[in-house]
Amino acid sequence: MLVGEYAVLAGAWSCALPVKFRQNFEVSVTDGQGMVRWQSFDYEGKEWMNCQFRLQDETSELLTVLRPLHQMLHHISQNRPDLCGAEKDLHVRIKASFRKEWGLGSSSALIANLARWSETDPFALMQVSFPGSGYDVAAAFHDQAIMYRLTEEGREIDTLQALPDFLSDYRVVFLGKKVNSRESVSDVQSNIKNLQYYREQLDQWAISALESEDASAFNQLMFQYEQTLADVLGLTPTGRQFPEYPGFMKSLGAWGGDALLAEYIPDEFEAVFGNLASFRLEEIARWP
């Protein structure tokens, strides 16, 4: 999410860019007894999860840990018993092309892949597993930047045909500190409703920033946007961890971890962030 973290839950517009990294999903279905074997591999091909459970068993200790996954498969079994159910066995293999700690939407990619495979409403799967605004699930179904907001009727999604050229050279810096987005939202849930009073102003800043012709205007608008979120939610912007950096910085994802967006200043950037994984925004995002 380039713009709109937390505010999207108050009905504000957000801007999301699907990333070029991928999560591969392979599944085989055979006649059986409702057994599920699940294997997950990291970006280097190393297996980090290998488990097996019965879809009908809802009380095991293993399923307590895998509750979101079990709930999605249970939902699919109700709609597609020909694919997933008491008389079918599943073998699922997942491989990501990015590090887990980068926070690049492992759960939303999984939701999208399960939805495509089972021809199930992805937002219904989201609600029974990883409930949230759904912007990341929407991004998983697009190949270009989107504008996304929640409405009384559900959600509104528009595609963006262009982003400011200067943003292509901004850097996404991965901080190596994965923050659970749902827990982060839960911590400030009581204050999120207060963002509704600032929604029109936040939307004006967001749209003006995305239409900016120069970096200084974008930086100033995003600074105002982020400062308003900080004041209302009582949070500290992620960039405050790097007071020595003279360039513009903006939180990405749950504040305090995951990643940040930084204006690139040669030499200064390498001095402050050189030991952290970073990419040009155009390298990591599906650029319009």
Q: So what's the pLDDT on residue 184? A: 57
Question: Is the pLDDT assigned to residue 91 strictly greater than 60?
Answer: yes
Q: Which pTM was predicted? A: 0.88
If asked whether residues 213 and 100 sit together in one domain, one would say no
- For all residues of the chain together, what is the average pLDDT? 89
Of 18-22, 72-76, 124-128, the range with the lowest mean pLDDT is: 18-22
Could you give the number of structural domains in the chain? 2
The two structure tokens encoding residue 216? 């200084």
Is 272 a member of any domain?
yes
Q: Give the neighbor-by-neighbor strand order of the sheet with 259-262.
A: 249-252, 259-262, 171-174, 278-280
Of 36-40, 123-127, 256-260, the range with the lowest mean pLDDT is: 256-260
Output 185 or 14, whichever has higher pLDDT: 14
Give the residue numbers spanning the domain of 82.
Answer: 23-129
Is 141 a member of any domain?
no
The two structure tokens encoding residue 63? 């399923």
Is 203 a member of any domain?
yes
The whole-number average pLDDT for the span 223-246 is 94
Rounded distance between C-alpha atoms, residue 99 and residue 174, angstroms: 10
Q: Name 261's Cβ contacts closer than 8 Å, sequence gap at least 6.
A: 2, 170, 171, 172, 173, 249, 250, 251, 252, 281
Q: So what's the pLDDT on residue 287? A: 75
* Domain end residue (candidates: 109, 129, 149): 129
Q: Reduced to 3 states, what is the DSSP secondary structure of residue 23?
A: strand
CB distance 72 to 129 below 8 Å: yes
* Domain end residue (candidates: 129, 152, 176): 129
User: Residue 169: CA atoms inside 13 Å, Cβ hemisphere, count?
Assistant: 9
